[in-house]
Amino acid sequence: MESIQAIKGMNDILPGQIEWWQRVEREARRILEDFGYREIRTPVVEKLELFSRGIGESTDVVEKEMYAFPDRKGEWLALRPEATASVVRAYIQHNLQADAVAQKFYAIGPMFRHERPQKGRYRQFHQIDAEVFGTDDPMLDAEIMYMLRLYLERLGLSGVVLHVNSLGCPECRKSYRAVLQEFLEQRSEGLCPDCQRRTRTNPLRTLDCKVDRCREALRDAPLLLDSICTDCADHFDRVKSYLELLRTPYEVDPRMVRGLDYYMRTTFEIITDRLGTQNAVGGGGRYNGLVRDLGGPDVPGIGFAIGMERLILLLQQEREETPRRPVAFVAALGDLARQRGFLLVQELREKGIEAEMDYEGRSLKSQMRRADRLGTRHVLILGEEELKRDEIQLRDMADKSQAVVPLDSVTDTLSKIYGR
Ligand SMILES: [Zn+2]
Ligand SMILES: [Zn+2]
């Protein structure tokens, strides 16, 4: 019979790879919780309307990439293409703004977009996502970027640059929109069909069109950053000065628009050139109007998302393997020794030492081979002779040295060596 394969662009994460994921998640949880964020888990399926209202009807995500489908009763649902809209929905639904303590949230999990699969880009991909509600203070904007820098530093990632921009507020964007529209109309022939349409529906989106001739045509387009209002300019200046205070290097990138409609004022991306072309490992920004637009109170918000696949790809380029905790292997020969060895394996595990044995009663040679494949640090060899003398052979696989130790103290000996 033909075997069933996973869906294209949706991957299994196997042992050997999962250690990277666990490390990236562990460090993320640690740092986020140190900064006062609390975890929130929302469903992967939501009403379609949440994303079309939250992200914007005329964005690529909603127009082209979302997994949307009617359920058995004909209600339109979607697999979440990002986390922010869901977190905002939960925030409104559970009236979380009434909780003065918890206004910082994080979520880790899978997102879904029907994109053309390519290296580091998948249809089920994973994000670490953080959202903060209730303050418009530029201090918070800077703190979030500082936290991101600290996180990547702790993971040992180098060669990334923080790009920042301000997209202004709806007020200053209105006047810019008109200026940009006029510019685009003059260049209409040089633009791709999508951008010709965007000229009328969503002109800002032409600024991050990936088509070469559009990039060319837009090279000398007027910049939004040049026409933001005094309030927005002041906000941006303060974000930059706090970044300097926190010794967080940045570059202003006036062409960064981000893919989603809800961003305003501060936007930022962590950029790397190590995945071929310039790519963002993560990014985010302010979305002060979003909570209100989704039917909630008028509270400001800011957040970011990190793409875990890309982050892990980058980390793997810097280092071949994740350090694995030491493993002990008990190789026992003969029925009685096997029984005692079986007990010893459990004693080691009780001490917090990862331990394995051979359940099949194979020869010493094949047990040693298995221990080697497991990357074992120590092998404990127990035969009938050793058992009679209440002893065990302790072999260090790194330097191949071997010592005889009393059977009833070998657990303590190992837990001293492994620091457990
Ligand atoms: Zn403004
Ligand atoms: Zn275009």
The CATH number of whichever domain residue 254 belongs to comes to 3.30.930.10
- How far away, in angstroms, is 231 Cα from ligand 1 center? 6
Report if residue 4 sits inside a domain: no
Asked if residue 128 and residue 52 are part of one domain, the reply reads yes
- How far away, in angstroms, is 176 Cα from ligand 1 center? 10
In the structure encoding, which two tokens stand for residue 102, read together? Answer: 């918890």
At 50 the pLDDT is 95
- How far away, in angstroms, is 202 Cα from ligand 2 center? 12
- How far away, in angstroms, is 112 Cα from ligand 2 center? 24
Kindly identify the ligand whose nearest atom is closest to the C-alpha of 167. Answer: 1
Residue 328 phi/psi, 5-degree rounding, is -105, 145
Report if residue 362 sits inside a domain: yes
Asked if residue 203 and residue 159 are part of one domain, the reply reads no
Report if residue 6 sits inside a domain: no
- How far away, in angstroms, is 230 Cα from ligand 1 center? 7
Q: pLDDT, tens digit, for every residue of 370-406?
A: 998 888 999 999 999 999 999 999 999 888 899 999 9
Asked if residue 216 and residue 180 are part of one domain, the reply reads yes
Single residue among 268, 288, 318 that ends a domain in this structure:
318
Kindly identify the ligand whose nearest atom is closest to the C-alpha of 229. Answer: 1
- How far away, in angstroms, is 410 Cα from ligand 2 center? 68
At 322 the pLDDT is 62
Per 3-state DSSP, what percentage of the chain is helix, strand, and coil (rounded to 5)?
A: 45, 25, 35
Taking residues 130-159, report their average pLDDT: 94
Q: What b/e readout covers 378-407, taking b as 16+ CB neighbours within 10 angstroms?
A: bbbbbbeebbeeebbbbbebeeeeeeebeb
Report if residue 236 sits inside a domain: no
What single-letter amino acid sits at 142?
Answer: A
**In this structure, how many other beta carbons lie within 10 angstroms of the beta carbon of residue 165?**
24
| CB-facing half-sphere around the CA of 234: CA atoms within 13 A | 5
Kindly identify the ligand whose nearest atom is closest to the C-alpha of 208. Answer: 2
In total, how many domains does the chain have?
A: 3
Report if residue 131 sits inside a domain: yes
The CATH number of whichever domain residue 338 belongs to comes to 3.40.50.800
Query: What is the CA 269 to chain-centroid distance, rounded?
Result: 14
- How far away, in angstroms, is 200 Cα from ligand 1 center? 22
Instruction: Report residue 102's pLDDT band, with 50, 70 and 90 as the boundaries.
Output: low
Q: How far apart are CA 394 and CA 331, in angstroms?
A: 10
Which stretches of 80-178 are assigned E, i.e. beta strand?
Answer: 104-112, 124-133, 160-166
3-state secondary structure of 291: helix
- How far away, in angstroms, is 307 Cα from ligand 2 center? 25
Report if residue 3 sits inside a domain: no
Domain range enclosing 216: 170-227
Asked if residue 246 and residue 257 are part of one domain, the reply reads yes
Q: Which of 39, 62, 34 is nearest to 129 (CA)?
A: 39
Query: What is the CA 267 to chain-centroid distance, rounded?
Result: 18
Asked if residue 309 and residue 194 are part of one domain, the reply reads no
Single residue among 201, 227, 253 that ends a domain in this structure:
227
Report if residue 2 sits inside a domain: no
Q: How far apart are CA 296 and CA 387, in angstroms?
A: 71
pLDDT at residue 198 greater than cutoff 70: yes
Kindly identify the ligand whose nearest atom is closest to the C-alpha of 169. Answer: 1
Angle ∠(184,189,190) on CA atoms, nearest 5: 80
Asked if residue 145 and residue 278 are part of one domain, the reply reads yes
Asked if residue 371 and residue 307 are part of one domain, the reply reads no
Flag the least confident range among 3-12, 229-238, 252-261, 268-277.
252-261
Under the phi-then-psi rule, with left for phi > 0, alpha for psi from -120 to 50, and beta for the rest, what region is 168? left
Under the phi-then-psi rule, with left for phi > 0, alpha for psi from -120 to 50, and beta for the rest, what region is 93? alpha
Asked if residue 84 and residue 22 are part of one domain, the reply reads yes
- How far away, in angstroms, is 233 Cα from ligand 1 center? 7
At 259 the pLDDT is 64
Kindly identify the ligand whose nearest atom is closest to the C-alpha of 235. Answer: 1
Q: How far apart are CA 152 and CA 253, in angstroms?
A: 20
Single residue among 318, 343, 376 that ends a domain in this structure:
318
Asked if residue 164 and residue 51 are part of one domain, the reply reads yes
Kindly identify the ligand whose nearest atom is closest to the C-alpha of 227. Answer: 1
